[in-house]
Structure 1
Amino acid sequence: MLMSANRPLPDVAFDAAALSRALDWVGMEGIALPVRLSDRGLQAAARVDVGVNLRDPERRGIHMSRLYLQLQQALPQARLDSLELDGLLVGLIESQQGAADRVQLVLHYDHLLERPALVSQNAGWKRYPVQLRSERGPEGSRHWLSLSVEYSSTCPASAALSRELNAESFLAAFGEGDVDTDAVRDWLAGKDGLAATPHAQRSMAEVEVELADGFDHLPVAALADVLEQALGTPVQTAVKREDEQAFARANAQNLMFCEDAARRVGAALSSLPWVRTWQAKVSHLESLHAHDAVARVAGRND
């Protein structure tokens, strides 16, 4: 017990609760901490939420400072793998000296990945918002990784309507019968050769996967790669003209309604052996409408 001028400091945390009731979660949100991203010492600034249940309905509160101090000591050095996270969760529960048997830890941070340009020899860094949610109770530990990936979506209906206008424009310019291929190429390459363009928009795939037991590292890069390859049109970093042209080709080859994007994401996630359950939301931030087009899908791999 702390002393002040030879007197013990009051501690009302051990007073009886005015309204007796067990609590599902008590803790802190938005703690500022660095997290270790690799064995090379790379770190990221994180916001951390931590809480435990309060089992005794008569007990007024938990040892909140013990949660904070343990995170301050352990998390900056901890590897984000199954073994160390499980050990941290056990320690957080034990810090409550029997007052709790469940804990939830949530890390929010931005993960940077270097991405090459589509054609040129350039590269740039992309930001991927990450959330890692870990829970432990008497039945064991579970871990969920959430990731957001931005991509471009070109509307298939708008593309079809644009092709129709372009075909009509071509017919008006050249009519029927034989045509000079050089003249056609020059016309197509000029401003008259594009009567309409399909609408496209920046889009977002937000996924949450439950990781299988025993993962030895946090698979952020692997998950980002799987999603971007499935969608085919991830937003770019460093872009020269040849990269922009390749991006336009990729959009034409990957016309997508939000339903198409959701099915692509679902097929990709359902093939991952290190994922137990998953859910995804895709949002096409419409350039035609003042509202967004959204689709959701979920599944289980085990």
Structure 2
Amino acid sequence: MNQPVTQMPDVQNSVDTRRLAIDKVGIKDIKYPVRVKDRSGREQHTIANFNMYVNLPHDFKGTHMSRFVEILNEHEYEITVESFKQMLVEMNKRLEAESGHIEMIFNYFVRKTAPISGVKSLLDYEVTFIGEITGETPSITVKVVVPATSLCPCSKKISDYGAHNQRSHVTITAKTNGFLWIEDLIDLVEKEASCELYGLLKRPDEKYVTEHAYNNPKFVEDIVRDIAAKLNQDDRIAGYIVESENFESIHNHSAYAMIENDKQLK
């Protein structure tokens, strides 16, 4: 015989008297499977790390942590940019919050073709969707970390032969005005680096990329300036942060540069 269901106390909904509002409260680093559509029309199946937060008024003791996971469960395998916005709206509504924040961090793969041999391989990029909502208006920021090659102009100038190079991580964090493929940001970075990276190279390809980088030397300052100039011309970009960290091959430290521009303020 079933036992009658008794009303259980809701401690989170009890009143807090400390009069201290919390800016962000929620769950951090929860892994979940997602599908992401790429520019070729295919869908990539990957695993994303989610951080999900809302604000908490001063008079509420706690938020309902289980509701964050329920929202992820309801969107299983169906997360796109549009459904990501929907999740933000739903999260604020379900948790009765004034503002919300979701981060979705995942590995994204691009099939690349070697420049001479034509062999194909996959290269991975770290991508983050960052969603913010206040009231009912969500905004999305896309962050992409692009590995690339940079070759030092000074080293090339002063050396009788050769020049030192480094692998760089170039990061674009972009607020968008309209639809933008992840590959659009990746392409932009790879065109402005000394040379792009490939997952697989044959010997003729290795010769090509070595010589291509040598003929296209760039300081860390050059990389961020050249990328920023292209972002300034792109009407799909409302604002951006572009960063480059060059992992030096002749020092035990990195070189770093950053440009930030909110185009809507100009």
Distance 2:30 2:98 in 1: 22
Distance 1:10 1:142 in 2: 36
- Letter of the 1:73 counterpart: E
The answer on whether the counterparts of 1:51 and 1:104 sit within 8 Å (CA) in structure 2 is: yes
- In the TM superposition, 1:32-111 aligns within 5 A as 32-38=31-37, 40-55=42-57, 57-81=58-82, 84-96=83-95, 98=96, 100-111=97-108
Residue 193 of structure 1 aligns with which residue?
A: none
Residue 207 of structure 1 aligns with which residue?
A: 172
Rg larger in structure: 1
- Letter of the 1:35 counterpart: V
Deviation at 1:80, TM superposition (A): 2.1
Please give the secondary structure, in 1, of the residue aligned with 2:9.
coil
In the comparison of the two structures, how many residue pairs are matched? 260
Distance 1:232 1:4 in 2: 71
Deviation at 1:251, TM superposition (A): 0.8
Residue 190 of structure 1 aligns with which residue?
A: none
Residue 181 of structure 2 aligns with which residue?
A: 219
| Aligned Cα root-mean-square deviation (Å) | 2.0
Quick check: which one's helix share is greater? 1
| Equivalent residue in structure 2 for 1:253, among 206, 215, 219 | 215
Unaligned stretches of 5+ in structure 2? Answer: none
| Equivalent residue in structure 2 for 1:151, among 128, 144, 148 | 148
Deviation at 1:4, TM superposition (A): 7.2
Deviation at 1:12, TM superposition (A): 1.8
Residue 226 of structure 2 aligns with which residue?
A: 264
Q: Could you list the per-position Cα deviations for residues 73-121 of structure 1 after superposition, in whole angstroms to 9, with x for gaps in the alignment?
A: 115213223xx3332211111112x3x1111111000001111101112
Distance 2:233 2:247 in 1: 27
Deviation at 1:232, TM superposition (A): 4.2
Please give the secondary structure, in 2, of the residue aligned with 1:282.
strand
Asked if 1:287 is matched to 2:249, the reply is yes
Q: Could you list the per-position Cα deviations for residues 37-75 of structure 1 after superposition, in whole angstroms to 9, with x for gaps in the alignment?
A: 1274432100001111112x2211122211210122115
CA shift in 2, pair 1:65/1:200, >3 Å: same
Quick check: which one's strand share is greater? 2
Distance 1:52 1:14 in 2: 15
The answer on whether the counterparts of 1:270 and 1:300 sit within 8 Å (CA) in structure 2 is: no
Please give the secondary structure, in 2, of the residue aligned with 1:262.
helix
The answer on whether the counterparts of 2:163 and 2:214 sit within 8 Å (CA) in structure 1 is: no
Please give the secondary structure, in 2, of the residue aligned with 1:8.
coil
Deviation at 1:242, TM superposition (A): 0.9
Distance 1:140 1:240 in 2: 50
The answer on whether the counterparts of 1:199 and 1:287 sit within 8 Å (CA) in structure 2 is: yes
Distance 1:51 1:4 in 2: 36
Please give the secondary structure, in 1, of the residue aligned with 2:81.
coil
Identity of aligned residues (%): 25
Q: Following superposition, which runs of at least 4 residues in structure 1 exceed 4 angstroms of deviation?
A: 3-6
Please give the secondary structure, in 2, of the residue aligned with 1:21.
coil
| Equivalent residue in structure 2 for 1:130, among 121, 127, 130 | 127
Unaligned stretches of 5+ in structure 1? Answer: 166-195
Q: Could you list the per-position Cα deviations for residues 189-227 of structure 1 after superposition, in whole angstroms to 9, with x for gaps in the alignment?
A: xxxxxxx42111111111100111x53xx6211110111
Distance 1:300 1:16 in 2: 40
